[in-house]
Amino acid sequence: MSESLNYQFLVKTFFTALSGVPTALIITIVALLIALPLGFLLALTRINRISFLHRFAQVYVSFVRGTPVIVQIFIIYSSVPLVLTSIFKKFQIETNVYDINPIWYAFIVFSLNTTAILIEVFRSALSTVSKGQLEAAYSVGLTNVQAFRRIIIPQTLVVALPNICTATVNLIKATSLGYAMSLQEITLRAKVAANVGYNYVEAYIDIFLVYLILCSLVEFLFKLYEKRLRKYKAANA
């Protein structure tokens, strides 16, 4: 066991780890697609203090931010089958709950998790756009929807983008916990490959490299997009 690194294995497993990237990305994209609009709407309820929803969003954000992601995963992973079994039993649907692809659980967990993070991101970003902007938009005859789509959202997005980038990177990192739901992503694939010859160090170096490349890429793309959006930035901000 005292030999040095197994380089052949290191190279081979790198591609095994790489083959888990699509899964990680699909989860990230689905979670973002659900969380971005939902987070924005709930942030609006927080700002406008819509009585019930605003309270709900507050408690929700506090819970998600106060508990580890792994615990959230286990909560969803252990509660959803219970709910589904009782529903299936009621309507006598003959489906085995444990045949469900774990990726559906991952979608639920990471959407719920990211929504909470984005509520806070949008809330702070929205508060930087002054109320005068909305009033100006109304005064030139834009409707509510137009005002938001053309004036408020672009300005909010500029401010929120760095935080959305951080949230995305954290989301990609968090998908590494998908192995707890036996999800076939980067970490699990490399780990399974390592189980054969106990080449754990090599496997984890590979996973580390894959995440490093993936996250640097995401950060780079966000930087590009940030440059494009900069034209919406208020001059006297």
Partner 1 sequence: MEKYFDAKYIWESFPLLIPYIKVTFLVAGLSVLFGTLLGFILAVMKLGNSKIAQKIANGYTTALRCTPSIVLLFLVYYGIPKIAENFGLNLSDVDKIVFIVITFSLQFAAAMSEVIRSAYQSIDRGQFEAAVSVGLSNTQAYRRIIFPQAFVVSLPNFGNSLLELIKEGSLAYTIGLIDVMGKASLIIDGRFNAHAFETYLALSIIYWVISIVIEQFFLKLEKGFSKGKQVIKPT
Binding site for partner 1 (CB under 8 A): 1-2, 4, 62-63, 65-72, 74-75, 78-79, 82, 85-86, 169, 173-174, 176-177, 187, 200-201, 204-205, 207-208, 211-212, 214-216
3-class secondary-structure state, position 116:
helix
Burial of residue 179 (CB within 10 Å: 0-12, 13-18, 19+) is buried
Handedness of CA 56, 62, 67, 73 (dihedral sign): positive
Is 72 strand, coil or helix? Answer: helix
Measured from the CB atom, the residue of 110 and 211 that comes closer to partner 1 is 211
Dihedral of the CA atoms 194, 196, 198, 203 (nearest 10)? -10
| Smallest gap from residue 92 Cβ to partner 1 (A) | 15
Residue (12 or 173) nearer to partner 1, CB: 173
Quote the least distance from Cβ 186 to partner 1, whole Å: 9
- The minimum distance between CB 169 and partner 1, in angstroms, equals 7
- Least distance (Å) between residue 233 CB and partner 1: 18
Which residue's CB is nearer to partner 1, number 48 or number 62?
Answer: 62
Encoded amino acid at 62, one letter:
S
- Min dist CB 188 to partner 1, Å, is 11
Angle (nearest 5°) at CA 94 between 90 and 98:
100
Nearer to partner 1 by Cβ, of 44 and 121: the residue is: 121
206: CB partners within 8 A, 6+ apart: 10, 13, 14, 16, 17, 190
Residue with tokens 């286990």: 74
Considering beta carbons, is residue 3 or 231 the nearer one to partner 1? 3
Both tokens of 189, joined, read: 């694939």
On whether the CB atoms of residues 158 and 231 are closer than 8 A, the answer is: no
State in angstroms the smallest separation of the CB of 41 from partner 1: 24
Taking Cα atoms as reference points, which of 176, 183, 178, 197 lies closest to residue 10? 197
Nearer to partner 1, 151 or 186 (CB): 186
CB of 142 to partner 1, least distance (A): 29
Beta carbon nearer to partner 1, 43 or 185: 185
